[in-house]
Amino acid sequence: MNAYIIRPTEITDAMLISTNIPETDSTKGEWTVGTAFMAGDTCRVTTTGIHNVYEALVNVTGGSSPEVDVLAATPKWLDTGKTNRWKPFDKVIGSQASQASPINYVLKPGITDSLSIQNVEATSIQVVLADQSYDTVTNGTAWTGATGTTQPTGWDKVGTPSDYLIDSGALKITAAGNNEGISQTITVVPGTEMQFLGIYRNIASDIAQYAVYDVTHSADILATTDLASSIVDSTLSYIFTVPAGCTSIKISLLAKSTGNIVWFDTVSLAPTVYNETTNLVSTINVIDEYTYWFEDFLWKTSLTVSNIPPYPSATVTVIVTNQGGTAKCGAIIPGVKLELGKLQLSPQPGLDSFSTLTENTTFGTWSVVKRSTRRKMQFKLFVEIARLDFIMQQMALYDSELLVWVGYESLECLAIYGFYRTFTPSIDYNNWTIIDVEVRGII
């Protein structure tokens, strides 16, 4: 069994293609020059690379933007962390993005062969990769040609919408009747699994729709379906297998009712190269009929996979589902794996507790202040001497860098996002060395 690290890809604005989590945090909305804030009010700054929420420490009108002000000698603002949308990428495991189930993210991080999703509250996690180098949609991002009653180039008109408009890069459709918009007929290969992917939004209370039709057999693959009404960019994602014998399908993007206004962007139809759903229920504590009926089921809180095919142009879709409840996700960490060596017997996972226990020495009672715990592990690696210099160079390169350390990916306690504290080889054999490793997770 080989231990490995995942060298994370830092997610930038350009890599986050879409999500269904709105960026609406704070009591006073987006920070703007001249807006008056009372002490305790919060605002958000969502410019590229920021995406943080700030709390006013004093009454504030004007002045520097909060992300600049927090660097002042006497700041007026307190940085309270990332927006809900960006919490999975803030390098803090304990801060969770939360959303009525499901949570979905579509990323384009470049070459990715491994993925770790940490600190979730969910019943299942689905990970899908679609190879965008084989995107079959014509004009699904630029929307050239769309103007007035003329549909975008490469698309057919559905109904008679009153207006097509390229609006800040997205296609805006104003319907004149029910179920109106655009469609495109595409040649496909029978039996291929495809992902229909895009971004949509609508005017408040309006409804965007989509559909997939088997032209060859004159049959619905997906009948016209309402998308959840959303006034912010949200994810459209539908995965299906092209029916046997089908060589042509039609995809449609629609507005539901007369007068509805909807937007679509970044629309693609590409073959999937990876699609796995993991059920997070754990029955490890169920050992007999009594425990089956009377013990609570346990739920895994993380998922780490390293068998993802590395496609440079793939989109990575992560869907976190908590059936019947609120889904939460602390970290989504895509990256590239580096095998370190063979994991030796007796790895030692553990926890550091930051809670405090205070004893009343008069009465013998205790008071507890509950705080976080931090995961850690110690283990030994068996590494070929010929690879030792390379491995040591890599460790020097990643000194004080956050990595995902994986001793055994099916055990959560042996898959930690954190730093190494010690990495000490002992050359005890002619061709092999034993390396002592200590890793501390982050909170």
- pLDDT value of position 53: 97
Say if residue 258 is exposed, middle or buried (CB neighbours under 10 Å; 0-12, 13-18, 19+): middle
Distances (CA, A) of 182 to 158, 164, 370: 5, 10, 56
**pLDDT given for residue 185 in this prediction:** 98
- Other CB atoms within a 10 A radius of the CB of residue 102 amount to 19
In order of 153, 160, 199, 384, the CA distances from 156 in angstroms are 8, 11, 19, 61
Task: Please tell me the predicted confidence (pLDDT) of residue 63.
Answer: 85
Domains of the chain are 24-82 (2.10.10), 131-275 (2.60.120.260)
Rg (CA), the chain: 26
Q: pLDDT digit of tens for each residue in the chain (443 aa)? A: 789 999 999 999 999 999 999 999 999 999 998 899 999 999 999 999 999 999 999 999 888 899 999 999 999 999 999 999 999 999 999 999 999 999 999 999 999 999 999 999 999 999 999 999 999 999 999 999 999 999 999 999 999 999 999 999 999 999 999 999 999 999 999 999 999 999 999 999 999 999 999 999 999 999 999 999 999 899 999 999 999 999 999 999 999 999 999 999 999 999 999 999 999 987 777 777 776 676 777 789 999 999 999 999 999 999 999 998 999 999 999 999 999 999 988 899 999 888 898 988 888 898 988 888 889 999 999 999 999 999 999 999 999 999 999 998 888 899 999 999 999 999 877 889 999 999 999 98
Phi and psi at residue 71, to the nearest 5°: -90, -5
What's residue 291's pLDDT? 67
| C-alpha–C-alpha distance, residues 119 and 304, integer Å | 11
Q: What phi-psi label fits residue 31: left (phi over 0), alpha (psi between -120 and 50 degrees) or beta?
A: beta
